[in-house]
Amino acid sequence: MPPATGKTLTRADLAEAVFEKVRLPRNEAAELVELVLKQIVYALERGESIKLSSFGSFGLRQKSERVGRNPKTGEVVPITPRRVIIFKASNIMKERINAALSKPAKPAEPPKSAEPDGAGKPAKAAKQSKAAKSDKSNSDKTNKAPKPEAKQEKKTKTSNAAKPVNSPAEKKRAVSSRRGA
């Protein structure tokens, strides 16, 4: 399965798309999205199936009572009858999704700044700053001895257990550092 992009489409995203395409006011675009989603839910509540051309169909499946088991204890547990929502994507949607997978990924381009490097500086100053940066990076590579400040930070990190913990994030770090020790 391909890696997820991490982005989830939300109601707000749908409303924003309606706002941009149809040029409805934002609050009306949000109301329109809510209305469409409510109609889908109401139809499913009534037991109706929903078919959206080029998208797919929603339906309900009745599941009867059955016997299940608790995987940890092996105890028999009855599973009550219920209705479950099913979605079947249309062939057009399946083709579009699979076509998107078969296209080669475009290499990521670095963000373009509004001004070229060194804009607003005299040419000589821009060259000098680049040279200073390269000298600094070269000296960092050759100087491998740790700085004294870094050693002091490490010492204070190990003594965090005795300090009071104020924020929730600090509490999490304190608990995880105690577990790891």
**Can you give the pLDDT at residue 168?**
60
Looking at the predicted structure, is the pLDDT value of residue 32 above 70? yes
CA 93 to chain CA centroid, nearest Å:
23
| CATH tag, 11-65+79-90 | 4.10.520.10
> Residues 124-143: pLDDT tens digits?
444 454 444 445 444 444 44
The full set of domain ranges for the chain reads 11-65+79-90, 150-181
> Residues 65-94: pLDDT tens digits?
999 999 999 999 999 999 999 999 999 999
Residues 28 and 35: their CA atoms lie apart, in Å, by: 10
Task: Give just the sign of the alpha carbon dihedral 165, 170, 172, 178.
Answer: negative
